[in-house]
Structure 1
Amino acid sequence: MGEIAERYRRRADAFEAKVAAVKADQWGNQSPCEKWSARDVVDHIVAMHGYMLMPVNRRLTAVPVAEDPLGAFRAARAAVEAVLDDPEAAEQDCDTPAGRMTVEAQIDQVVSDDLVLHGWDLARATGQNETMDPADVERLWTSTTAIPADVMTKYRTPDAFGPGIEVYGAEVEVPEDAPLQDRLLGFIGRNP
């Protein structure tokens, strides 16, 4: 198993545990993402998994998030893991908003990173432990703060990538001496 696949599986394990821990009456809870409930966070993650499959002409198994959030995530996860386990599919080049890269690199930079950030959203919405893996926080801080200012402006602009698509919110000021997780969350537009 390669580094990207291993990182994805570790992050998917953590996200799946959060989904499994959501109580039936918490799915409508407001998440830190202004327009999303806890269920919407999972729906977004599942939908993003589907987008990662498109370059290799694969599709998600139809498990509706509205009926079975955990089952939908597990099906989406299995589909992405199948791509990561297939060297021909994983190493295929594809066009992305960030430029041309391999399918596995896009999975790593998009949906794998989303598992960490939206895992925090789901935890916050449902009263779970909000602590992110420190290695993930460091990695995401480094990659996110390295995004050029003009690109970050586009990422912070609602609908820049299509109707209803928001990548990051406006930066939330966090003290410079705050824990790195809080600084990361503030940088991407969350109030830690």
Structure 2
Amino acid sequence: MDNPLLDRHGEALDLFTDRVHAVGADQWAASTPCTEWSVRDLVNHLTAEQLWVPALVSERRTLAEVGDAFDGDVLGDD
């Protein structure tokens, strides 16, 4: 099934992935325009938000059902 919205979402994820892979080891602690967040904090936030997509869209779960499953550090050491 062709879905323009999902296609665009996939394109955005590809662009985000390219940019994350371009971050150097010495750049993860750098500040962002959101002065309270480092690059790592921002990537962790965006990654955690994307983890919600399958649960809410494909599995049709509610926010309450997902709960705090994606709170905290979702990046780990990698």
**Normalization by structure 2: what TM-score?**
0.69
- Using the alignment, how far apart are the partners of 1:54 and 1:12 within structure 2? 17
Question: Any conservation in 2 of the 1:39–1:66 contact (CA below 8 Å)?
Answer: no
TM-superposition CA deviations, 1:33-63 (whole Å, max 9, x none): 1211001111001111133344334777xx9
Q: Does 1:3 align with 2:13?
A: no
- Using the alignment, how far apart are the partners of 1:65 and 1:52 within structure 2? 17
User: SS in structure 2 opposite 1:26?
Assistant: coil
1:67 is displaced (CA, Å) by 1.0
TM-superposition CA deviations, 1:61-89 (whole Å, max 9, x none): xx941411xxxxxxxxxxxxxxxxxxxxx
| Structure number, greater radius of gyration | 1
- Using the alignment, how far apart are the partners of 2:18 and 2:47 within structure 1? 15
Counterpart in the other structure of 2:29: 28
- Using the alignment, how far apart are the partners of 2:77 and 2:13 within structure 1? 20
**Unaligned stretches of 5+ residues in structure 1:** 69-192
What is the aligned length? Answer: 66
Counterpart in the other structure of 1:65: 75
The letter of the residue matching 1:65 is: L
Q: Which runs of 4+ in 1 moved over 2 A?
A: 50-60
User: What do you get for the CA RMSD once the two structures are aligned?
Assistant: 2.3
**Unaligned stretches of 5+ residues in structure 2:** none
Counterpart in the other structure of 2:15: 14
1:28 is displaced (CA, Å) by 0.3
The letter of the residue matching 1:52 is: V
**Normalization by structure 1: what TM-score?**
0.31
Identity %: 30
The letter of the residue matching 1:5 is: L
1:64/1:47 CA distance change after superposition, 3 Å: closer
The letter of the residue matching 1:4 is: L
Write the mapping of 1:120-131 to structure 2, written as runs, cut at 5 A.
Answer: none
